[in-house]
Chains A and B, each alone.
Chain A
Amino acid sequence: MNAFRLAGDMTHLISVLVLLLKIHTIKSCAGISLKTQELYALVFATRYLDIFTDFISLYNTVMKLIFLGSSFSIVWYMRRHKLVQRSYDKDHDTFRHQLLVLPCLILALLIHEQFTFKEVMWTFSIYLEAVAILPQLVLLQRTRNIDNLTGQYVFFLGAYRSLYILNWIYRYFTEPHYVHWITWISGLVQTLLYADFFYYYISSWKNNVKLTLPA
């Protein structure tokens, strides 16, 4: 495993831990989109169908379990925990799941490497992950005022995506036959979705002011 991939996985892990920590310690999910969290839970559930059939490494299995466990517990907290539930900004989090899930499912049925259940589900998860952040970005735009933890959560997620692109470039040049168009194009789309947010995040950090997004 190369350094970009490891750093990418670690920033992904940090983003999830930042979010769980926020929810668990201050019992608040203000500014967090439940829609995005449910989409991530679906992404991991459909991608890791191979968790008990294909063993890659202990690292791989443990990380998969962490991502599955954390994404489902975040959804549980936001839906079921009395205090956390109360801080959920339901009125602004109105993005419709179906608008993302259905097109991704259709695309996965049309464009995939192998027509098997596991492979189509895996491809679906790749497409869905690329757009799953959209409800979160829409919510941030609507509320405009972003607390530090929410900003850091999205920042680390974006860092994870950027590092994965470097990892793919590295693997392309160092490993024979390493060509994955589906993953690359989806990953690129996903990273571009963060570009706007990154711009405001970094400029607010540079000017040392609280992060706000334009309407």
Chain B
Amino acid sequence: LDKAKSHDEL
């Protein structure tokens, strides 16, 4: 799971 990608929303 790519954390940066999953947290790309604001």
Contacts and interface: CB of A to CB of B under 8 A. Distances in A.
A60 B10 contact: yes
A142 to B, nearest CB: 30
Contacts of B6: 180
Nearest to B1: A113
B8 to A, nearest CB: 5
Looking at chain A, what size class is its interface with the partner chain?
20 to 34
Interface in B1-10: 1, 3-10
A88 B3 CA distance: 40
Interface string A49-71: 01000111100100110010000
Contact of A164 (B1, B5, B8, B9): B9
A122 B10 CA distance: 11
Contacts of A164: 9
A64 B10 contact: yes
Contacts of B5: 56
Interface string A108-149: 000001100001001000000000000000000000000000
A9 B10 CA distance: 8
Nearest to B8: A56
Interface of A: 5, 9, 12, 50, 54-57, 60, 63-64, 67, 113-114, 119, 122, 164, 167, 180, 183
